[in-house]
């Protein structure tokens, strides 16, 4: 794929991430922070996020398995997780976090379990998409300034 | 993650290093603003750091609150502003907020993904200068420098207002201020400062830039000196210049004193809740009565005890109190005011004590509340009071500790249930619900003057937690000769006239504090002893004290009989009303319960109370309010209240820091300013 095509590909991938609701405005904030001094800033952030969030997910999973469920604790964990996810603009993940917290507040263990599964799925999906995107971006070379999705 | 949040790397690793000198900073302000950002989430921390760097700030990041505090303490003037997350594993963000505000007097911005109203409100009440919702956008960070400027400007204004401008040790650099601050700087202060500045430019220049003003750490001792000076001068007449002279601390500038005084005043107001300032949160909560007490806003458990001690509380009240104290259930009506933790302890305790003491004194600690006013309490009652007072105190402490700012809550003491609620709310952090039961009094007493009375002590009515005390605004004017208004707070016990003195004082905490301190609430709450240590408590106590006018003016309440009457009233009412928990200021007021003839010599000299209650075994140890040396570290460790609570209640909930800021000196109760 030539440069132009690569870049176009990258742009499309990026756009679809937004269009499909995987990412939100916050991701653009990160992109805007990227500069010559930190050319891979966004990717670094995403890497950091996935490293920490995987750990968090494990913690939450363990906590979910405990009975009786400590909803307060779970809510606390999820609050942190949500904050983290929102900071990179992980929109769908964030939505699941919110749903999870709702169930926690309601003391709905089943709902929590279900939501947690959905959350893990979204988390994994986004990871794959981002990895592909970053890889393509690196191959394509420097991308133009981030532009806001319509 | 390669975050430079390690101990060693913190300060250097992430600082941009571009601007180190003050000169550069001031010239390029807001570029070079030194920001300390604290967040346990590494991803967020990285993002924030990058954003702040993009804003051309000098950033230091930290993922642990303790490390942040360490950095701040080691490098007193190394930072201009702190940004902290609310939810952190090692320390609650609000606690960090309070510590920073007290110790370093830096503007603190809170952040959280939580945008719930209560959390944001908590930020406000704890003194955060801003609250950002995560995810944070760079636009939000671009303007944080305004908080730095604003703070300095306010400090300068304070200095100016206190008339110390002429001699100002430090002068802001008018020119610099003008550069970046709002046009307000063009105002008078600037002009006067300019004059001064010209005169003292040479000396002050290096540090005088508003950004670079070295920060004074108000240690306990220093704060004690400060409070002592303020009390000596009288809260009304306490101007930074005179305070500085009295304190006679080398190296301390009037500016330092001025800014500290300002904070102190705000603190007092907050405690009293009835301060004249409409914005005072406490006020809103405080009932009218309370308002008068103002100062008493923070009814701390201690107060209850004091109240209890005064013997006002009838046996049953004590029992109730005790019960209440221990339990989170707001018992006796003493609403646990969510007094500001900080404030609560120090000042309010005295107040609360009384109020609560009555009701809750159930417990645990045998407080010897010296209430100058002889109460009709029997010995055993007194004992009960002590205990309850203690527990209350403890509770209150805790409650207070939590930073309930709600003196308003305190006010609500009258309603038992409200108490419980209050406590719960306030307890936010630590306050074990226990406090709630006890806390009530304290809370309600938040209002210094009113507190006592209100909490049932003065008030006979149950419901009204704040009864009686309110009655006479000059509560203390009761028969005891004290025209001195008893710090009202403390004595609200009886709603009695004497007590009102506190109220009359307007419950302005400041006044109260002065008084209380002076009067040395003899009360030697055991609780306080334990909790003691926190300075903030002292402040609270001070508030309480203030209500006792006596301190200032030799209101010696002689007339022990009278005092007994007063106390009586206070307590009797409090008994009923669970609320009486207003131990808050009362605590200090050491009512000499017990024998009728106690003179409540409200004297400014705090210790005076001791003499009053000679006989009383009950000693309310007034928290050392006067000592409040705690200076701004109200929160010090969890606010003495917590310790009290724990100590008292044993239940505890873990209040951990036993070293409460209360520095209860263990005043003998004798000097209950009546």
Which tens digit of pLDDT belongs to each residue from B542-579?
Answer: 443 333 333 334 343 343 334 343 334 433 333 343 33
Sheet of B130-133: strand order equals B58-62, B34-38, B81-85, B108-112, B130-133
Which of B50, B51, B132, B142 is the best residue to mutate to test the A interface, defined by the most A CB atoms within 10 Å of its own CB? B50
pLDDT at B213: 52
Please report the DSSP string for B32-97 in residue order.
T-EEEEE-S-HHHHHHHHHHHHHTT-EEEEES-HHHHHHHHHHTTTS-SEEEEES--SSS-HHHHH
Element (H, E) at B668: none
**Res. B90 pLDDT band, cuts 50 70 90:** confident
Both tokens of residue B564? 């007994």
Considering only CB atoms, which chain B residues are within 8 Å of A48? 1, 42-43, 46
Both tokens of residue B584? 């808050």
Report yes or no: B63 at the A interface, CB cutoff 8 Å: no
Q: Are B452 and B433 in contact (CB under 8 A)?
A: no
Report yes or no: A29 at the B interface, CB cutoff 8 Å: yes
**Under an 8 A CB cutoff, do B135 and A29 touch?**
yes
| Distances from the Cα of B347 to the Cα of A72, B15, B230, B405, B582, angstroms | 34, 40, 14, 13, 12
**Res. A1 pLDDT band, cuts 50 70 90:** low
Give SS3 for B556.
strand
Best CA proximity match to B249, nearest among B283, B225, B279, B265: B225
> Does the structure show a pLDDT above 70 at A109?
yes
Of residues B305 and B29, more confidence is placed in B29
Which of A31, A39, A41, A48 is the best residue to mutate to test the B interface, defined by the most B CB atoms within 10 Å of its own CB? A48
pLDDT at B211: 47
- Distance (Å, whole) CA B427 – CA B34: 33
Report yes or no: B133 at the A interface, CB cutoff 8 Å: no
Considering only CB atoms, which chain B residues are within 8 Å of A35? 54
Q: In which residue are the tokens 């964990």 written?
A: A77
**Res. B632 pLDDT band, cuts 50 70 90:** very low
Nearest to A33 among B43, B54, B135 (CB): B54
**Res. B266 pLDDT band, cuts 50 70 90:** confident
- Distance (Å, whole) CA B198 – CA B164: 16
What is the ipTM metric for this complex? 0.92
DSSP-H helix ranges across B520-663:
526-531, 535-546, 549-552, 560-576, 583-588, 608-612, 639-649
Q: Can you state the angle between helices B315-326 and B379-401, rounded to 10 degrees?
A: 30
Element (H, E) at B173: none
**Res. A114 pLDDT band, cuts 50 70 90:** very high
ω into A68 cis (within 30 of 0): yes
Instruction: Tell me, rounded to whole angstroms, the distance of Cα B343 from its chain centroid.
Output: 2
pLDDT at B159: 74
Which of B17, B41, B86, B134 is the best residue to mutate to test the A interface, defined by the most A CB atoms within 10 Å of its own CB? B41
Nearest chain A Cα distance for residue B339, angstroms: 25
The answer to which of A117-126, B111-120, B314-323, B546-555 has the lowest mean pLDDT is B546-555
């Amino acid at each position: 794929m030539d440069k132009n095509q690569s870049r176009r590909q990258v742009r499309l991938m990026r756009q679809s991430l937004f269009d499909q609701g995987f990412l939100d405005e916050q991701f653009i904030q990160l992109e805007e922070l990227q500069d010559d001094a930190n050319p891979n800033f966004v990717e670094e952030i995403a890497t950091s996020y996935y490293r920490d969030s995987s750990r968090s997910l494990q913690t939450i999973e363990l906590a979910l398995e405990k009975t009786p469920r400590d909803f307060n604790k779970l809510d606390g964990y999820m609050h942190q997780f949500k904050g983290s996810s929102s900071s990179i603009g992980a929109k769908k993940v964030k939505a699941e976090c919110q749903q999870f917290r709702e169930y926690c507040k309601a003391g709905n263990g089943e709902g929590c379990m279900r939501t947690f599964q959905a959350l893990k799925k979204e988390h994994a999906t986004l990871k794959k998409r981002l990895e592909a995107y970053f890889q393509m971006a690196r191959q394509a070379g420097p991308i133009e300034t981030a532009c806001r999705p319509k | 993650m390669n975050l430079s949040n390690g101990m060693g790397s913190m300060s250097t690793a992430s600082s941009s290093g571009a601007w180190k000198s003050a000169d550069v900073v001031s010239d390029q302000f807001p570029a070079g603003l030194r920001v300390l950002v604290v967040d346990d989430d590494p991803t967020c921390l990285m993002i924030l750091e990058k954003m702040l760097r993009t804003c051309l700030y000098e950033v230091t990041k930290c993922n642990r609150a303790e490390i942040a505090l360490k950095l701040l303490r080691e490098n007193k003037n190394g930072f201009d502003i702190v940004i902290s997350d609310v939810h952190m594993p090692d320390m609650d963000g609000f606690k960090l907020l309070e510590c920073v505000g007290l110790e370093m007097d830096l503007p603190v911005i809170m952040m959280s993904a939580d945008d719930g109203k209560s959390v944001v409100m908590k930020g406000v009440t704890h003194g955060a200068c801003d609250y950002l919702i995560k995810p944070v956008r760079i636009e939000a960070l671009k303007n944080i420098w305004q908080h730095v400027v604003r703070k300095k400007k306010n400090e300068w204004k304070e200095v100016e207002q206190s008339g110390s401008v002429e001699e100002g040790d430090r002068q802001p650099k008018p020119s610099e201020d003008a550069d970046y601050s709002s046009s307000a700087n063009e105002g008078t202060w600037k002009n006067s400062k300019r004059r001064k500045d010209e005169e003292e430019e040479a000396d002050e220049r290096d540090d005088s830039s508003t950004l670079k003003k070295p920060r004074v750490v108000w240690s306990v001792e220093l704060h004690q000196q400060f409070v002592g000076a303020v009390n000596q001068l009288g809260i009304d007449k306490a101007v930074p210049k005179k305070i500085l002279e009295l304190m006679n601390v080398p190296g301390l500038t009037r500016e330092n004193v001025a800014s500290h005084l300002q904070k102190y005043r705000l603190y007092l107001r907050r405690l009293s809740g009835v301060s004249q300032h409409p914005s005072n949160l406490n006020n809103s909560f405080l009932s009218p009565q309370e308002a008068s007490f103002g100062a008493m806003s923070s009814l701390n458990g201690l107060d209850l005890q004091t109240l209890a001690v005064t013997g006002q509380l009838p046996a049953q009240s004590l029992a109730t109190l005790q019960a209440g104290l221990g339990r989170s259930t707001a018992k006796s009506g003493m609403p646990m005011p969510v007094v500001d933790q900080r404030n609560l302890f120090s000042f309010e305790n005295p107040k609360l004590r009384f109020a609560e003491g009555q009701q809750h004194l159930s417990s645990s600690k045998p407080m010897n509340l010296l209430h100058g006013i002889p109460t009709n309490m029997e010995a055993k009652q007194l004992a009960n009071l002590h205990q309850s007072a203690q527990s209350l105190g403890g509770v209150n402490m805790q409650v207070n500790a939590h930073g309930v700012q709600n003196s308003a809550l305190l006010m609500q003491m009258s309603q038992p249930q409200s108490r419980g609620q209050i406590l719960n709310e306030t307890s936010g952090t630590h306050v074990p619900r226990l406090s709630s039961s006890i806390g009530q009094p304290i809370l309600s007493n938040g209002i210094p003057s009113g507190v006592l009375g209100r909490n049932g002590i003065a008030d006979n009515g149950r419901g009204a937690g704040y009864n009686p005390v309110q009655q006479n605004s000059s509560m203390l004017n009761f028969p005891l000769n004290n025209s001195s208004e008893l710090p009202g707070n403390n004595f609200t016990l009886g709603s009695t006239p004497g007590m009102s003195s506190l109220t009359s004082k307007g419950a302005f905490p400041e006044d109260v504090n002065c008084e209380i301190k002076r009067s040395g609430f003899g009360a030697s709450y055991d609780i306080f002893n334990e909790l003691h240590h926190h300075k903030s408590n002292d402040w609270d106590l001070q508030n309480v004290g203030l209500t006792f006018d006596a301190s200032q003016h030799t209101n010696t309440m002689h007339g022990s009989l009278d005092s007994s009457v007063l106390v009586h009233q206070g307590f009797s009412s409090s008994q009923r009303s669970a609320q009486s928990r207003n131990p808050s200021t009362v605590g200090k007021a050491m009512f000499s319960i017990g024998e009728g003839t106690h003179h409540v010599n409200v004297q400014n000299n705090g210790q005076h109370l001791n003499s009053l209650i000679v006989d009383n075994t009950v000693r309310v140890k007034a928290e050392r309010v006067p000592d409040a040396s705690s200076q701004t570290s109200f929160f010090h460790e969890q606010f003495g209240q917590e310790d009290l609570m724990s100590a008292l209640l044993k239940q505890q909930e873990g209040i951990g820091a036993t070293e409460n800021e209360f520095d209860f000196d263990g005043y003998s109760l004798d000097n209950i300013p009546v």
